[in-house]
Amino acid sequence: MLNPAVPGFYPDPSICRAGRTYYLACSSFEYFPGVPLFSSTDAEHWTPIGHVATRPGQLALEDVPATGGVWAPSIRFHDDHFWLVVADAFGRGPLLFTADRAEGPWSDGIELHGVEGIDHDIAWDADGTCYITFSGLVLDGEQSGTHHGIQQVRMDTTTGHALEQPRSLWSGTGLKFPEAPHLYDIDGTWYLLIAEGGTERGHSISIARADHPEGPFHGCPANPIYSHRSTDHPVQNTGHADLVRTDDGWRVVFLGTRPTGLTQAFAVMGRESFQSTLHWVDGWPVIDPITLNPNLPGTKVHTDFDEPLGVEWVSVRDAERGWASLDARPGWMVLQGSTPNTPGPAMDDSHPHFLGRRQQHVRSRYAALIDAADGIGGLSIRYDELHHYDIEIQPDHDTGDYLVRARVRLAQVEQTWERRVPAGPTVLWITTTPVPANGFDPHALSCDTVGFGYGQGPDTTEIADMDGRYLTADTAAAFTGRVAGIYAATGTVAFDWFTYEGEHR
């Protein structure tokens, strides 16, 4: 199997089949559009097709904290319709979306009541009774942080109201944080697949079965049936799985990370989606081991801003994007600054005027040609508002030249470097370069180096470089991954083009 299935920050994969096509949905947290979708004709090679949440009002991301928002969707095809349940954490809460086509448009989403928690799953029995199974984590109120294990209700999908009080189901082998439940009727036996051990290094997959969707469930003697904990496998944190039956067997998708450095300590791109085959032994699934594909092709994507942005572009907590225009200056993306006439680190803001795309390769380069004659703006590589590296440009009206500034923001710590350049449109760039593991060296303990510079060709100049370990899931403690792109701090900033280049090695 091709791995990673979907590289970059696309975690919590859920899979379904409709006819001869397979569909994959992932988490997106505070980024918009929300709930990215992929399709495949072989359940192995995945193509992005859009998002579930593409309109204002479908999600309430405006005030969610970092790593809040879209958590762990479950996508299913039932009764000739697509169904997707998801928690808009700290926003609208548990939601149910429907669509006639996976490509959309999707409904506005109805709020689900009586299923307080996360990681909601949806399933139906032969009589058409709908079951919502979920991880009972309380997110707010006096009991915030309390975990009630795996729970389930029968649900009225028309009104969004539970038809009963939640019942407790099998919650694993006793490892911490049972989550990510998925319920399946497989040839007359009901299976409950969950994750346990936490989404960090102890992450694992466990399963139980019963004669009825409400249980009682009995765990597999081999639980957890899959985990990479305490191994040197290049993929770690494996868990949060979902299953689908294909014409030639079964597939499983799950999240994992690719931590690097001398001690496998830092996952640059956060949690990604992986896949494997599985076979059945004595009525229990056995997941086949995975390997990383060593010869995955790289990419070079050049955006001229001559047409609407592709599905890979996202903003932070902002479904309106009234500050971004492709019409104000044809052939350019024009961004209005988020803090007019107030110089400062725009990417510290919880609502930056920023458009970016996920880092999907361990070796990458981002570049853009920027006209900042009327403002301040540049490029940023972001984990959240407390952890980002930027390079920006601004005119100095007193001297007539421009000032290029590289910035590292690490919580309360800020470091900057500055250079003066001639006035005029300028190419700014950010690179990420893996650190070679050359013996027991302090530099080899890290994951990569992030470089900042300006110019191109023989005029390329690097201003500074920074240890990349501080911009990883392990340091930022985020559920997301690196997202890099363009932003405006003040005034009006125009971008003629943007290029992303990436290599997997």
DSSP per position, 167-193:
EE----SS-S--EEEEEEEETTEEEEE
Evaluate if pTM is beyond 0.85: yes
Q: For residue 340, what pLDDT is reported? A: 54
Q: What is the pLDDT of residues 451-489, one digit of tens each?
A: 999 999 888 999 999 999 999 999 999 999 999 999 999
Mean pLDDT computed over 369-388 = 96
Residue 342 has pLDDT above 60, yes or no: no
| Among 432, 415, 427, 428, residue whose Cα is nearest residue 483 | 432
Mean pLDDT computed over 251-274 = 95
Q: What is the pLDDT of residues 111-137, one digit of tens each?
A: 999 999 999 999 999 999 999 999 999
Q: For residue 441, what pLDDT is reported? A: 76
> Nearest-5° angle of CA 72, CA 53, CA 242?
25
Q: For residue 140, what pLDDT is reported? A: 87
Mean pLDDT computed over 309-338 = 96
Q: What is the pLDDT of residues 202-217, one digit of tens each?
A: 999 999 999 999 999 9
Residue 11 has pLDDT above 80, yes or no: yes
The Cβ of residue 299 has, within 10 Å, a number of other Cβ atoms equal to 14
For residue 392, CA distances in Å to 367, 388, 457, 471 come to 12, 13, 19, 18
Residue 339 has pLDDT above 90, yes or no: no
Strand partners, 133: 121, 152
Give residue 198's region: left, alpha or beta (phi > 0; psi -120 to 50). left
Residue 402 has pLDDT above 70, yes or no: yes
DSSP per position, 107-146:
P--EEPBS--SEEEEEEE-TT--EEEEEEEE--SSTTTT-
Mean pLDDT computed over 281-298 = 93
List residues with catalytic annotation: 12, 179
Percentage of the chain surpassing pLDDT 90? 92
Cβ contacts of 209 within 8 Å, gap of 6 or more: 189, 190, 191, 192, 217, 218, 220, 283, 284
Q: Where are the domains of the chain?
A: 14-287, 299-503
| Among 140, 156, 48, residue whose Cα is nearest residue 96 | 156
Question: If pLDDT is split at 50, 70 and 90, which confidence band does 145 have?
Answer: confident
Write down the CATH number for the domain with range 14-287.
Answer: 2.115.10.20
Q: For residue 297, what pLDDT is reported? A: 87
Mean pLDDT computed over 304-318 = 96
Tokens linked to 352: 């930056």
Q: For residue 442, what pLDDT is reported? A: 77
Residue scoring higher pLDDT (313 or 505): 313
Mean pLDDT computed over 27-44 = 98
Q: What is the pLDDT of residues 47-96, one digit of tens each?
A: 999 999 999 999 999 999 999 999 999 999 999 999 999 999 999 999 99
Give residue 237's region: left, alpha or beta (phi > 0; psi -120 to 50). left
The residue assigned the tokens 């006035």 is 423
Q: Answer whether 14-287 and 299-503 agree in fold.
A: no
Q: Considering the chain, what is the average pLDDT of its residues? A: 95
Tokens linked to 88: 């808009």
Q: For residue 443, what pLDDT is reported? A: 78
DSSP per position, 356-379:
EEE--SSEEEEEEEEEEEEEEEEE
Write down the CATH number for the domain with range 299-503.
Answer: 2.60.120.200
Mean pLDDT computed over 427-435 = 97
Residue 225 has pLDDT above 60, yes or no: yes
Query: How many angstroms separate the CA atoms of 227 and 212, rounded?
Result: 27
Q: For residue 344, what pLDDT is reported? A: 55
Q: For residue 343, what pLDDT is reported? A: 53
39 within 8 A of 50, measured Cβ to Cβ: no
